[in-house]
A = this chain, B = another copy of it.
């Protein structure tokens, strides 16, 4: 299926006030190439295998396929992944009919916070909370597959 998503930096911690839950995520890549990204994720006690294709020119739409795995399967496949593990806590924040996923990165990407919203169609309107910062939709540097290899600390324009 196709996913339509927009992604933003986050400029304050106020999203935590509105968050209704969070989960701990660990993920690695069997392929970090954005043309055919193959991701192994362990979220709380669940495993997932996700395959994503290249996004469209605006960066909003991307093919995505996902299968749930047992935690044991996910742990075994995690062992094969490329170096560079993503560790993050994901907060969920309601905004009208949508839900923002706000990822607070740990480890190599500590300091980075990204918010993502999934839309039903490309031009759908959505609420922008005050804590939302600059849009980075389609900016490859903020793909998790790229953050696993090139942590954001290494970027000269991130303060």
Residues 4-46 of A, flagged 1 when their CB comes within 8 A of B and 0 if not, give: 0000000000000000000000000011010110100000000
Q: Which residue of B lies closest to A82 (CB)?
A: B36
Q: Is the CB of B80 within 8 A of A63?
A: yes
Q: Is the CB of A67 within 8 A of B67?
A: yes
Kindly identify which residue among B30, B65, B76 contacts A77, using a CB–CB cutoff of 8 Å.
B65
| 20 CB < 8 A contacts A-B | A30-B30, A30-B31, A30-B36, A30-B38, A30-B51, A31-B31, A31-B36, A35-B80, A36-B80, A36-B82, A38-B38, A49-B49, A49-B67, A51-B77, A51-B80, A53-B79, A53-B80, A63-B76, A65-B73, A65-B77
